[in-house]
Structure 1
Amino acid sequence: MTSPTATEPTHSSRRLAPADWIGLGVLVAVLVVGLSWSKWLPYWDKAWTMSQTSIWDGGPLFDAAGDTISFAGAWDFTLVYFTAVWKALLVALLVAAAIDALVPRDWLARLLNRRSHTGQALAGAALSTPSMMCTCCAAPVAAGLRDTGVRRSAALAYWVGNPLLNPAVLIFLALVLPWQYVAVRIVFALLIAVGASALIGRWITGSAEAAPDPSPTSPRLSSLPVRYLRSLGRFTLILVPEHLALVFLVGLLAPWLTGVYGLEAQLGAGAVLVAAIVATLLVIPTGGEIPIILTLLPLGVGAGVTGALLIALPALSIPSMVMVGKAMGWRTTAAMGAAVAVAAMLAGGVLAVLS
């Protein structure tokens, strides 16, 4: 008999105990109530308003950082950012804790650990679509998935699929930008979430890819609240201060980093490369790339640069990559960062040809 490989996971067929069903019920309740409150209903209202006006309400987030590097500007940027994402971040922490403490690990394996890396990436990307989180808010959930034994390709696809495949953002793009932007976003979002996730999962292997325990034991029903609160506290105490510090750092450097978007006349095609790399590091809330692109287009910034920003800005950020680095593995995280930057450059080139 051959042992299972990374592409042939073993799944337990044990029956779920009452505590397992309650844990799954809590996860579903948190997802439905939390996402309705933080994402689905607000996005529905915003889409309806935009369908009547075809106007994006609000300016680029980086305006809050000011024109020069300063601690005051960095703090203002941090406050504006967290005001925009706190609901989604709270829901993400609640979901991550539920996955870690309440959901049977073998059940997650059966759901996401498909035989092929492409199948795993497709499953992770499909799971990401309804949650609609920005990359930083998706990071705790993606890290939680990896910690419970979900394979790299699936966890990566969930992580990058949240911001790139967000159906609400696709609708927003269609309402305020030419169709070419929507088409390029969809194509390259799929290439990253499914293609890059599958390739990275195939190329990078190691002990962290070991299958979950094939015969886990169910927790006692009375222990579930303690397990959940302990997990929630751990995620909150570790990730929130880390996130706050890294967002402040991005806000501190934002006036210098975002200045590269205006160098297109001097750099030519090189501006697309610079924009793709810088945008991969910057942090924005859901849909934050739209007001930035809308601001740059009237200033004469071309489709190459704005196309790169369309992909790189939402996909990843320094805070997001740091938050998932330990769970995903630093080589995996760096590989996805490189994949996003390359895809963003190609997206800029394609959009320039189509425009």
Structure 2
Amino acid sequence: MTTLRQPRVALGWMVFLLIAVAGLFYVKWFPYYNRAFVAASQHSIGKSILMGASATAPEPSWQAALDYAMAYGKAIWQAMVLGLLLGSAVQALIPPRWVARALGEHNFGSVVNGGLMSLPGMMCTCCAAPVVAGLRARQAAPGAAIAFWLGNTVLNPAALVFMGFVLGWQWTGLRLVLGMLMVFGLGYAVNRMVTPAQAAASREALSKLVQEDDPGTAFSRWLKILGRMTLRLVPEYIVLVLLLGAARAWLFPHIGPDIGNAALWIIAFAVAGTLFVIPTAGEVPIIQAMLSLGMATGPAGALLMTLPPVSVPSLVMLGRSFPPKVLAFVAASVVAFGVIGGVVAGWLF
């Protein structure tokens, strides 16, 4: 039995790694490598997906919703497909003991592992959500999964490089310092929220997963899980992106010199940035456009820390993977980091 099991496990790992490496190279690594040279030479990576060349977001309408959904979908659809493939493959092709060994402990070590494992992914919050859901289904500790989720966006190496060339390296420094505190600090705090009863239930669930795991049925289970994840996550995701696309004018009604470093503006932009959804590194041209229109650095700093890590769609997508109080805590904490980022940016920049 063992002699048959080992080749099947090895085959599962090989398929998973092939999808991860080939997919990330095609969708993320190679395009971002080329875009880094564009950012260095032109000090721009494109127009703001929020406003385009306009000074305001379009009026709320179905056309505005469709326009944003189309632009956003064009930017992220390949990464979303990859996220669904990896999120389902984690559950079917990787033995549960391996996930538990790297990310299953409710301590700071698993949080560090989750944050470090996120760095090659460089996915937006919604595209990373299926992978996070897959890790949680394999009983990864909640703090480790949160660190993986937030690290994909906040510590994205490509976004940090783009930021330096386009906005200035002081913005990269601000994002890196606060981003590390966000990723590892919130991950640790979430793990501390786990009660002894919840930890015992997680160990029991892991034990059942290990007993039920059969490498011989891995590929058929993968297809079933992929189908279920797609049918559950994609429709609600599309609806929420459409609604946020239509609501752009309410979240960002006006951009100009009258938006200063007052606390009210910083808090308002921190909340709006937490709710809204953007593609990977989309915050860079958004902030560049807003600064060029005369907006103060404080609200820009708030958006720097809140636009990438979470959004309404990604929070809803992970509604079954974390308790509501954990997601509420993470969302509120992201707003708080946005306020801190805004205050620091307004003071220093």
Normalization by structure 1: what TM-score? 0.90
Query: How many aligned positions are there?
Result: 340
Matches within 5 A, 1:1-355: 17-63=6-52, 67-114=58-105, 116=107, 118-205=108-195, 209=199, 210-211=202-203, 212-214=205-207, 216-217=210-211, 219-259=213-253, 265=259, 268-355=262-349
Deviations 1:75-108 (A, max 9, x none): 1110110000001001000000101112111110
- Name the SS for the 1:150 alignment partner: coil
The CA distance in 2 between the partners of 1:222 and 1:182, in whole Å, is: 47
CA-CA distance at 1:147 after TM superposition:
1.0
Mean CA deviation greater in 217-226 or 177-186: 217-226
Identity %: 36
- Name the SS for the 1:259 alignment partner: coil
- Name the SS for the 2:94 alignment partner: coil
The CA distance in 2 between the partners of 1:275 and 1:314, in whole Å, is: 13
> Residues 58, 144 of structure 1: CA spacing in aligned structure 2 closer, same or farther, 3 A cutoff?
same
CA-CA distance at 1:62 after TM superposition:
4.3
Letter in structure 2 aligned against 1:47: A
Letter in structure 2 aligned against 1:77: Y
The CA distance in 1 between the partners of 2:74 and 2:196, in whole Å, is: 39
> Residues 349, 98 of structure 1: CA spacing in aligned structure 2 closer, same or farther, 3 A cutoff?
same
CA-CA distance at 1:172 after TM superposition:
0.2
What's the Cα RMSD here? 2.1
The CA distance in 1 between the partners of 2:300 and 2:198, in whole Å, is: 37
> Residues 264, 279 of structure 1: CA spacing in aligned structure 2 closer, same or farther, 3 A cutoff?
farther
The CA distance in 2 between the partners of 1:139 and 1:96, in whole Å, is: 8
Q: Would the aligned equivalents of 2:44 and 2:166 in 1 still touch at CA under 8 Å?
A: yes
Letter in structure 1 aligned against 2:182: I
Q: Would the aligned equivalents of 1:97 and 1:235 in 2 still touch at CA under 8 Å?
A: yes
> Residues 172, 108 of structure 1: CA spacing in aligned structure 2 closer, same or farther, 3 A cutoff?
same
Structure 1: 5+ residue runs without aligned partners?
1-14
Structure 2: 5+ residue runs without aligned partners?
none
The CA distance in 2 between the partners of 1:304 and 1:257, in whole Å, is: 17
Normalization by structure 2: what TM-score? 0.92
